[in-house]
Structure 1
Amino acid sequence: MDEKQKRILAVSRYYDSLDGMMKKYDRLGRKEAFGGGDQEEWKRWKQRAGKHLWELLGMDEMENCPLCPKLLERTELFGGIIREKVLLQTEPDVWMPVYILIPPAKEGRPGCVLAPHGHQGAGKYSVAGCREIPAVAEAIDRFHYDYGLYLAKLGYVALCPDARGFGERRDKAFQKEEEEAFMRGTCFHLAHMAEPLGMTVAGMNTWDLMRLIDYVEERGEWRTDDLGCVGFSGGGLQTLYLAALDDRVRRAVISGYLYGFKDSLLELNGNCSCNYVPGLWKAFDMGDIASLIAPRPLVIQSGCSDHLNGPRGIKNADEQVEIIRSAYRLNGAEDRLIHHHYEGGHQFHEEDLKEDLERMEKDCR
């Protein structure tokens, strides 16, 4: 026994909380899922569920204000893509920097897609494809993270914002010129600030994306009748809640973030604070929330070996997709829901994206 071990007592048995919490989840969870019936009953459920989800996320605590857009930079990239950096006010004294990737002009107005980011990619920098930053280039290679740039190459205007706590919006704890601080986010600190005020990290980011759609509409340069949102991991979280609560999102791609709460966020309880919404699990599972997107086109990407699926693996994701599929089937729109299984772990997949977006664009007409 070394000197450090002599200073503590070896514990022969632990009395931790997980087993009790799992059983409590089974008793109390998902009380407000759709109970079955016809399309009219589903529509009434969707209205009730959307209202309750809005309240759970703390959206009533968000404050509207003028956007006061400011163009900070305008840079031409390879292939004629223009990258604008725009600063928007999403709440009073709350500012969101956004990279807007604008493809070369073609006949007609281009479509636009919101591209929220996830974790471990320095916010908007990875999604916008800023490979000139070495740490960002590594994250792009690891997660296939530059889907905003890929969207611009496909001809879409891609809007890549910094979520609260990331990139240029990091809170004081991570405002350091260190690689780890630069690449990570301050969701933990945001949650501690927000939840006692009745707000949530997920709700604040959903609000900010709604304000970004306001900006797109106010600017008026791009199509919005088929406006999309594409997000990976934590960006998939943002896409899920935004599309569930804002019908202006006409098509959505959720990558690396669609699985059951019990396996992936209760049993795997070390996930980021942005995942956790007080009271949420008592009302809904993730499939119920995604059902609110029906009958709009939805693509879900799941990695068969993604560790975030939880101990039961891809089965956990498949179960949630079946919940969503039942809502699409009830609305006569089952062909608008696509679930891709990909080999490998936690990463974005662009190999089917062009075809999926084109198919969804037709469904929006």
Structure 2
Amino acid sequence: MRISPLYRTILSKLTLSLILAFACTASYAQQVKSDIANFYPMLDAYSSKSNASLSYLAKDWKNTAKWRKNARAKLDELLAFHPEPAPLNSQVLSTTKRDGYTQYLVRYNVNALQSTEAFLLVPDNLTKPAPAVIALHDHGGFYYFGKEKHTYTDNQPEILKEYVQNLYDGRYYADELAKRGFVVLCPDAIYFGSQKIDPALLVDNKGYEKKIKDVDESERIKIYNKQVAGPNEVAMNKTILTAGTTWLGIIAQNDRVAVDFLLSRPEVNPERIGCIGLSLGGLRSNYLFGLDARIKVGVVAAFSTTYNEMLQQHAHHTWMMYVPRQYEFLDLPDVPSLNAPRPLMIMNCKQDKLFSIAGMQAAEQKLSSIYTKMKAPEKFTARYYDAPHSMTIPMQEDAFAWLEKWLK
């Protein structure tokens, strides 16, 4: 068969284009190092095809309230946890008078399938309903405790004292908030504290009972964290996905019921409720602030990035943070933007090994643009601290000032 000169020219150019495209792709795959090596270019290209379509910056939304309603509804759909509701049936399990406030250990239902325990801290000498803050505990690979990691308790094991020293400069910030006049609620998330996994009910607990025999309390807690709860995160998440829901969906639903609990208390001003958290608590604060209009002020410590900056590296967090298909509709900083222009503070740690500086800055830029577009730039701030992944006392003081400015 004879090939025309024109066809030969077209074929030649097409072949050259394919060769160059393949060479570029191969070169890109070789040059860019990633947590997923040669698979990164493919997934990066796929994610870039269409993402964050419901971001406030995606287009000029004619009606902000309608955008917010639709975006929240989509996020709620993706979180995929809609259990049968239940009355709170709250109980006070213990009462401890402390310096400047009273600490109540309470239990309440979060849905028909779960209950949780929380510390409720009520300042002394309240003469009227006070502003309230939901303090959301971190992860840190420390599952044995939840609320106790930022709320003072008596007779603490050494392992807990060391943990609080490392992440919070040794200060229990929830108690400090109570001393400053805030009602504070510190609930346990699923898989932590009062909701932790029970080794006795595991098919194989790797000989947990034998390992903890004749060891002190701190060593027993260490064994639980590292040899029981930590390794079982994988099975837990697989089972959660198989059940048709998401881990973060369960956490977010539980945290929203924390608002219901606060609203049931006569000490609380229902129009002045904020939330704060470090690490996993920061993630929880992102979602609670974004999803629940009853939250008026948010503080997020050491959990701010964009998904794009996580794709190459740093997508190695707890299984609790991942929501299938969310990036198609909302980037991580788009989540708290759902409550904009209410006041939001983001606190980043320059030495944080869990997030890149580029990711922190990209999230800051996105949120700053959204608040500016909403004509409220003064209600958003992002700050950087020369510290590792933590909430140091200087960070706490800045957070307290932010909460006092906008809630009191």
In the superposition, the TM-score normalised over structure 2's length comes to 0.78
Amino acid across the alignment from 1:166? F
1:278 and 2:324 are equivalent in the alignment: yes
| Aligned residue in 2 for 1:127 | 150
The CA RMSD measured in Å over matched residues stands at 2.3
Identity %: 24
Please list, as runs of the form range in 1=range in 2, the aligned pairs for 1:1-365 lying within 5 A after superposition.
Answer: 17-35=39-57, 40-59=62-81, 61-77=82-98, 79-120=99-140, 121=142, 122-130=145-153, 132-144=156-168, 146-173=172-199, 178-180=220-222, 181-182=224-225, 187-264=233-310, 267-310=313-356, 313=357, 315-348=358-391, 349-361=395-407
In structure 2, C-alpha distance between the alignment counterparts of 1:325 and 1:152, rounded to whole Å: 30
Unaligned runs of 5+ in 1: 1-13
Q: Which has the larger radius of gyration?
A: 2
Describe the shift of the 1:164–1:227 C-alpha distance in structure 2 as closer, same or farther (beyond 3 A): same
In structure 2, C-alpha distance between the alignment counterparts of 1:55 and 1:274, rounded to whole Å: 17
Moved more, 260-269 or 169-178: 169-178
Q: What SS does the corresponding residue of 1:130 show, helix, strand or coil?
A: coil
Contact kept in structure 2, 1:188 and 1:272, CA below 8 Å: no
Describe the shift of the 1:230–1:21 C-alpha distance in structure 2 as closer, same or farther (beyond 3 A): same
Post-superposition offset of 1:204 = 0.9
Contact kept in structure 1, 2:289 and 2:298, CA below 8 Å: yes
Post-superposition offset of 1:15 = 7.2
In structure 2, C-alpha distance between the alignment counterparts of 1:334 and 1:352, rounded to whole Å: 18
In structure 2, C-alpha distance between the alignment counterparts of 1:174 and 1:100, rounded to whole Å: 30
Unaligned runs of 5+ in 2: 1-35, 202-207, 213-219
In structure 2, C-alpha distance between the alignment counterparts of 1:278 and 1:219, rounded to whole Å: 36
| Aligned residue in 1 for 2:22 | none
Q: Aligned pair count?
A: 344
In structure 2, C-alpha distance between the alignment counterparts of 1:62 and 1:147, rounded to whole Å: 32
Moved more, 294-303 or 68-77: 68-77
Post-superposition offset of 1:262 = 2.8
Moved more, 213-222 or 39-48: 39-48
Post-superposition offset of 1:174 = 8.9
Residues 244-293 of structure 1 show CA distances to partners (whole Å, capped at 9, x for unaligned) of 11100011101111111233366323210011111112222112112112
In the superposition, the TM-score normalised over structure 1's length comes to 0.87
Describe the shift of the 1:208–1:331 C-alpha distance in structure 2 as closer, same or farther (beyond 3 A): same
In structure 2, C-alpha distance between the alignment counterparts of 1:40 and 1:130, rounded to whole Å: 50
In structure 2, C-alpha distance between the alignment counterparts of 1:296 and 1:136, rounded to whole Å: 35
Describe the shift of the 1:75–1:30 C-alpha distance in structure 2 as closer, same or farther (beyond 3 A): same
In structure 2, C-alpha distance between the alignment counterparts of 1:162 and 1:169, rounded to whole Å: 7
Runs (4+) of structure 1 exceeding 4 A deviation are: 35-39, 173-177, 182-187
Q: What SS does the corresponding residue of 2:354 show, helix, strand or coil?
A: helix
Describe the shift of the 1:148–1:190 C-alpha distance in structure 2 as closer, same or farther (beyond 3 A): farther
Q: What SS does the corresponding residue of 1:179 show, helix, strand or coil?
A: helix
Residues 59-105 of structure 1 show CA distances to partners (whole Å, capped at 9, x for unaligned) of 3x32211111111111122x142111111111113110101122212
Amino acid across the alignment from 2:152? G
In structure 1, C-alpha distance between the alignment counterparts of 2:51 and 2:354, rounded to whole Å: 20
Q: What SS does the corresponding residue of 2:404 show, helix, strand or coil?
A: helix
Amino acid across the alignment from 2:280? G
In structure 2, C-alpha distance between the alignment counterparts of 1:292 and 1:359, rounded to whole Å: 21
Post-superposition offset of 1:38 = 5.1
